[in-house]
């Protein structure tokens, strides 16, 4: 089958003879229509780990939507022709974490979607039906949105509180929309790419600050904001984590959402954190949030045109991975087969 395959660091090719994944008895064969490009795909391309370590060769992508074209003999919930999205994170169900309600922390977890390919064969427990009116293009946002929902759950924001989002890429964009929907009072976006200012303000940001030119804490004070109650870091860099911890007000909760490099170390001003009595959390993947993501997309609660920056073809993907040309400005979605 056709697939965009990573053979090693910075070695990616569109191939037409990648082996199709086998269809297990409990699995669903999905013809992929759209697959979103994730920050972790860039990490894998650069030779780093994704959500888990990488083994080559591997088809990239895990944010897929498509149509069922075959089912294994034990599959009960899906039929040929069903429109679906897939949670790429499989968990075993029998380890300590699974048995204690933390399936996303499963010791035996694995990725079951390599979505930059014509076909994927995930187990049926990872597959989700889509409502007819939700386009497969928009449904490719289910996975990142499900991850963002978990991050916002961990933020434990109360309506009216001030939230600061550090980093306004595709994830920051979705998180802004979730915080706005959840009743955030003031929303501060910290982002160095000026072209993103108007989108952030249109989506409900109260204040857009550029960390290169603004004195962040002073600008927040000048805007009459006494305390940043919740901070969510969406850059995955030591500097974005540092900014998040720095702008956090007293008693704030800080969620480090961005995927950092495996060897990156974030400096923590221990005394300042002590005085502010910070709650610092990290967020990993998407435990049981996919149905909520589908519901938000289906109900039109997420502006998908504002989140998706560019649709590209599989052939465009190698150069996008090298340059990040379109990803710089928004979510890139690869069209494998038009709906």
Residues that bind Zn ion (CB under 5 A): 38, 91-92, 95, 98, 106
Nearer to Zn ion, 143 or 161 (CB): 143
What letter does residue 22 receive in the DSSP assignment? P
Nearer to Zn ion, 201 or 284 (CB): 284
Q: How far apart are the C-alpha atoms of 232 and 230, rounded to whole Å?
A: 7
Residues in Cβ contact with 86 at an 8 Å cutoff, skipping those fewer than 6 apart: 30, 64, 65, 112, 113, 115, 120, 122, 126, 127, 128, 143
CA distances to 91, 139, 241, 326 from 119, rounded to whole Å, are: 21, 17, 37, 25
> 195: burial class by Cβ within 10 Å (0-12, 13-18, 19+)?
exposed
Q: Least distance from C-beta 294 to Zn ion, angstroms? A: 16
Nearer to Zn ion, 105 or 201 (CB): 105
β-sheet with 279-282: strand ranges across:
207-209, 187-190, 163-166, 230-233, 253-256, 279-282
Nearer to Zn ion, 136 or 245 (CB): 136
Nearer to Zn ion, 227 or 261 (CB): 261
Matching residue, tokens 């956090």: 248
At how many degrees (to 10) do helices 142-155 and 290-298 cross? 110
Residues in Cβ contact with 15 at an 8 Å cutoff, skipping those fewer than 6 apart: 2, 3, 4, 5
Other beta carbons within 10 Å of 308: 20
Q: Least distance from C-beta 105 to Zn ion, angstroms? A: 8
**Strand, helix or coil at 239?**
helix
**Do you find a cis peptide bond into 188, omega within 30 degrees of 0?**
no
Q: Least distance from C-beta 70 to Zn ion, angstroms? A: 26
Q: Least distance from C-beta 177 to Zn ion, angstroms? A: 17
Nearer to Zn ion, 38 or 200 (CB): 38
Nearer to Zn ion, 38 or 248 (CB): 38
Q: What share of the chain is helix, strand, coil (3-state, %, to 5)?
A: 30, 25, 45
Task: With CA atoms as reference, report the closest residue to 225 among 179, 173, 278, 188.
Answer: 188
Nearer to Zn ion, 104 or 230 (CB): 104
Q: Least distance from C-beta 125 to Zn ion, angstroms? A: 12
Nearer to Zn ion, 103 or 196 (CB): 103
């Amino acid at each position: 089958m056709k697939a965009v395959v990573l053979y090693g660091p910075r070695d990616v090719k569109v191939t037409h003879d990648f082996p199709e994944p086998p269809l297990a008895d409990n699995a669903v064969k999905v013809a992929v229509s759209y697959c979103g490009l994730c920050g972790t795909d860039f990490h894998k391309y650069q030779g780093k780990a994704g959500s888990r370590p990488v083994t080559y060769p591997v088809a990239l992508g895990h944010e897929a939507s498509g149509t069922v074209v075959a089912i294994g003999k034990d599959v009960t919930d899906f039929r040929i022709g069903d429109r679906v999205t897939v949670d790429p994170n499989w968990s075993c169900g029998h380890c300590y974490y699974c048995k204690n309600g933390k399936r996303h922390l499963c010791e035996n977890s694995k990725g079951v979607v390599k979505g930059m390919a014509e076909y994927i064969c995930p187990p049926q427990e990872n597959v989700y039906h889509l409502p007819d009116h939700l386009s497969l293009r928009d449904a490719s946002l289910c996975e990142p949105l499900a991850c963002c929902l978990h991050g916002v759950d961990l933020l434990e924001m109360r309506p009216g509180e001030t939230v600061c989002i550090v980093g306004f890429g595709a994830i920051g964009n979705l998180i802004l929309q979730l915080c706005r929907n959840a009743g955030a009072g003031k929303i501060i976006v910290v982002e160095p790419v000026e072209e993103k200012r108007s989108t952030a303000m249109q989506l409900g940001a109260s204040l857009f600050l550029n960390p290169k030119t603004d004195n962040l804490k002073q600008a927040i004070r000048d805007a009459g904001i006494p305390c940043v109650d919740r901070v969510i870091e969406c850059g995955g860099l030591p500097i974005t984590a540092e900014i998040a911890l720095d702008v956090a007000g007293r008693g704030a909760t800080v969620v480090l959402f961005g995927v950092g490099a495996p060897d990156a170390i974030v400096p923590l001003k221990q005394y300042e954190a002590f005085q502010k009595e910070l709650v610092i959390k990290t967020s990993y993947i998407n435990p049981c949030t996919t149905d909520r993501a589908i519901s938000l997309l289906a109900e039109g609660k997420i502006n998908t045109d504002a989140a998706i920056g560019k649709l590209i073809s599989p052939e465009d993907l190698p150069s996008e991975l090298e340059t990040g040309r379109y990803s710089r400005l928004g979510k890139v979605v690869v069209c494998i087969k038009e709906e």
